[in-house]
Amino acid sequence: MSDTKVHILVVDDQPANLLLILRVLEEKFKVTCVESGQAALDSMEHDTPDLVLMDVRMPGMDGYECCRQIKDNFSFSQVPVIFLSANTSIEDKIKGYEAGGADYLTKPCDIQEVVAKIEHNLVLQDEFKGKLKNANDFATLAMSNSGELGVVLQFMEGSFECEDQDALAKLILSTFESYQLNACVQLRGSQATINACVGRAVAPLEISLMTEVIGGEKIMEFGRRVLCTSNNMSLIIKNLPEDEMLSGRLKDHIVSILNGATARMNNLNMAFDKEQQVVNRIKQTLEDIEQTLSNIEKLADKKHKDTSEVLGQLNQDINESFSRLALSEEQENHFLELLKKSADELFKIAGEDSELKSQFEAISSKLFGIISSKES
């Protein structure tokens, strides 16, 4: 930093807020205050500040859109933007990062915290400038940072749509392809373990490495290679760039993607385990039904056998008694007809057990079919 005062541009549509910030900052910094996003862009065209304090909610052009236009302008795309907002949700902070913001403070905020954030970002900006040789480097790195973060955000959004391990593995690999990184991944799910790589089979040594690091260090580096692991996945990157700054940024993105993929794997595993519990309960129910059917069949057989024996004995006793009863032939035939009718009714009742068993078997067969289709 030079001996001249650092120039801070403050953007807020509320004059009272501008006055408060001006009074606090003007002793230490050169401060310019404007009341709209368009006024901020116009001001920066004539006098580029060292840092912008940007309110989010403003009529017309909001702070996010103003920041995007700042980052799209080559002349001052490197100027850090700190957002000031009463919105505290993670979604709003993500919008700030997507727009290109360097930091995000929530209102009401301690004014000393604002000063500390300004000084911290100015130090980072000085370090940033020291590593770049010319204005073209500024533009290239700004675009790279935005694009790299966009890839991470796209992965996070896409991961929620992955319904199984195969889809998640494909998304992980395609994400690293966007960074021009050669990756292979192992996903360890409740249902199966998947090893995947782009354009080729995963080498046995790679599988061994990804398996053996379970429970060890989260990140291990071997020259331009890095091995990352979590409780349910491992990842090998084989071609980190030699540029230390780029490599450092990519390693941060790799960890973010690893954490997002791990969270999605946890969700998939929980869903599979829950479904498997339901399947197991259905299987147990089917086993109970089969046991019941077996018991019904045994009882039906016994009832049928006992009924036949009783009726046979009754028929024999009656025939033996006819000679002693001195019944006419017509009376004997009538009596036998009544006996036969009663026997037929008894056998019909016994047969209903078999029909009930057949109905149970049909239901059981359908349930087994459902289970088989879910497991295949």
Q: What is the tens place of the pLDDT at every residue in 57-82?
A: 999 999 999 999 998 988 888 888 98
Q: What pLDDT, on a 0 to 100 scale, did the predictor assign at position 42?
A: 94
Q: Band of the pLDDT at 134, cuts 50, 70, 90?
A: very low
CATH (one of 1.20.1640.10, 3.40.50.2300, 1.10.579.10, 2.40.10.10) for 7-130: 3.40.50.2300
- The answer to whether residue 354 scores a pLDDT higher than 70 is no
pTM for the full model? 0.43
Is the CATH number 3.40.50 carried by domain 163-272? Answer: no
Q: What pLDDT, on a 0 to 100 scale, did the predictor assign at position 182?
A: 87
Q: What pLDDT, on a 0 to 100 scale, did the predictor assign at position 97?
A: 79
By CB atoms closer than 10 A (0-12, 13-18, 19+), residue 64 is buried
Q: Band of the pLDDT at 103, cuts 50, 70, 90?
A: confident
Q: What pLDDT, on a 0 to 100 scale, did the predictor assign at position 349?
A: 58
Domain ranges across the chain: 7-130, 163-272, 274-375
Q: What pLDDT, on a 0 to 100 scale, did the predictor assign at position 143?
A: 41
Q: What is the tens place of the pLDDT at every residue in 293-314?
A: 677 777 767 776 766 776 666 6
